[in-house]
Amino acid sequence: MKESKKHTKHTALTKPVGGEYHRNEWALLGAPCSILNQFAEKLATQLNKEMRVGYIDASHEEVKSEHPYSIYYHDKQAFAQIDTHVAFAQKQNRKYFDSLDLLLINGNHFVGDKQIVFINDKKKDSLRRKLDRLTDIRIVLVDSKEQEIYDFLQPFISKDVQLINIEEVKKVVDIISGDSQNYIPLLKGLVLAGGKSQRMGSDKGTIDYHGKSQREYEADMLTGLCEEVFLSFSQNQSDEAVRSYPVIKDTFVGLGPYGAILSAFREHPNYAWLTVACDLPLLNGVALDLLVARRNPSKLATCFHNPETNFPEPLITIWEPRAYPVLLEFLSQGYSCPRKVLINTEVEEIIVDDVDFMVNVNDPQALSAIKEKLKK
């Protein structure tokens, strides 16, 4: 009898935190949609003073070719609305909301990762039918002191859940705002040391400018700024001699720094990545401290402006988790240049007077010149 082959599971990947639509999403449910929409508007009006807020809703109108699905978008400068008559595609929804810091959801129509539940008798039976959506109730809203939480809700209510009057919008705003601080990604460091060094003729990461290999020197600088620091190596690069720092090997091969950044996000998609190239002998702690201090988690990335190119400098950059799907999307369109991503997306660009720390050394002539400079 021929033995059947054992089923091989797909590669286990770390999934981004959050729900179906966003890493930081709150569903409002348990009241008529008109009440949910009004309350969401009040929340968004106050919250968008400090973050970008979106609201997802669905139309009750029966339409054939118009737009029963809507995405409402708030930020400090503008309000925009995207309508579509096509239902959201499962597992593809985050692309609509990647630029937001917070997503509010009409929970009568869609499922959200965290919930704000309204006690409203008009929707009592409807709420009872949606108990499978109550996975993490954070707030219960009532419109009078006499209102009590329904018996069928009690098993879903923890002692930490706050009971708040529907008129106390500021209390809800403060809770959401405080919770959102937990969604600012922690920082990991990555020294891009997997290049071929063809012009130099030897591994640029092993060059000693400061009493140790440049890749270790830079990794040491990142240590005080990041939760964990890694060296990025190519697949065919030996890491046997590396003892000081863990290594992330390229899983997006043949793409240079672009592939290294994607490979890091594949390993840890819920972190922001401070990436530096290993051929920056004048890189210093002052520049890195400034980069971290000026970091804007609401943008795709934080980087320096390079006056020599008049473009963002991709070799010293903080990439937020929201950059991961964008990098993949650019790659799907045939682009593998980190600078092109920075130019064509919304980033925090830092302008400085002294830009010597951006000088990269790629050939023996530049190496000799920079070593002479460092002797002075």
| Residue type at 308 in one-letter notation | E
Spatial separation of the C-alpha atoms in residues 102 and 109, rounded to whole Å: 18
- What is the predicted pLDDT for the residue at 295? 98
pLDDT in tens, 168-216: 999 999 999 999 999 999 999 999 997 766 676 567 888 899 999 999 9
- 240 and 169 belong to one structural domain: no
Tokens encoding 98: 């990647």
- 345 and 367 belong to one structural domain: yes
Q: How far is CA 84 from CA 14, 56, 64, 67, 329, in A?
A: 31, 12, 12, 5, 21
Q: Which of 183, 218, 237 is the last residue of a domain?
A: 183
What is the pTM for the complete model shown? 0.88
- What is the predicted pLDDT for the residue at 232? 94
Residue 10 inside a domain? The answer is: no
Residue 150 CA, distance from chain mean position: 37
Residue 42 inside a domain? The answer is: yes
- 125 and 253 belong to one structural domain: no
- 194 and 174 belong to one structural domain: no
Which structural domain, as residue segments, surrounds residue 92?
A: 25-183
Residue 1 inside a domain? The answer is: no
| Residues in contact with 213: Cβ distance below 8 Å, sequence separation at least 6, in sequence order | 205, 206, 207
H runs (alpha helix) in 7-164: 33-47, 94-97, 124-128
Contacts 24+ apart (CB under 8 A), 194-202: 194/232, 194/233, 194/234, 194/237, 194/250, 194/260, 195/234, 195/256, 195/257, 195/278, 195/279, 196/234, 199/362, 199/363, 200/279, 200/361, 200/362, 200/363, 200/364, 200/367, 201/364
- 152 and 164 belong to one structural domain: yes
Burial, 42: exposed, middle or buried (Cβ in 10 Å; 0-12, 13-18, 19+)?
A: middle
Upper half-sphere CA count for residue 100 (Cβ side, 13 Å): 28
Spatial separation of the C-alpha atoms in residues 345 and 347, rounded to whole Å: 6
For residue 291, give the nearest of 270, 275, 311 by alpha carbon: 275
- 203 and 178 belong to one structural domain: no
Domain CATH code at residue 284 = 3.90.550.10
Residue 368 inside a domain? The answer is: yes
- Residues of the chain with pLDDT below 70 are 1-8, 60-88, 196-198, 200-202, 240-241, 376
Tokens 């499922």 belong to residue: 111
- What is the predicted pLDDT for the residue at 65? 47
- 230 and 268 belong to one structural domain: yes
Spatial separation of the C-alpha atoms in residues 193 and 266, rounded to whole Å: 18
Give one word for 125, left, alpha or beta, with left for phi > 0 and alpha for psi -120 to 50: alpha
- What is the predicted pLDDT for the residue at 77? 47
- 277 and 335 belong to one structural domain: yes
Residue 15 inside a domain? The answer is: no
- What is the predicted pLDDT for the residue at 1? 47
Residue 2 inside a domain? The answer is: no
Q: Which of 135, 164, 183 is the last residue of a domain?
A: 183
Residue 162 inside a domain? The answer is: yes
- 217 and 141 belong to one structural domain: no
- 227 and 157 belong to one structural domain: no
Spatial separation of the C-alpha atoms in residues 333 and 331, rounded to whole Å: 5
Q: Which of 155, 183, 211 is the last residue of a domain?
A: 183
Spatial separation of the C-alpha atoms in residues 117 and 137, rounded to whole Å: 7
Distance spanning both ends of the chain, measured CA to CA: 79
- What is the predicted pLDDT for the residue at 264? 98
Give one word for 66, left, alpha or beta, with left for phi > 0 and alpha for psi -120 to 50: beta
For residue 361, give the nearest of 166, 214, 220 by alpha carbon: 214
Question: How many separate domains does the chain show?
Answer: 2
- What is the predicted pLDDT for the residue at 85? 62
- 159 and 201 belong to one structural domain: no
- 145 and 288 belong to one structural domain: no
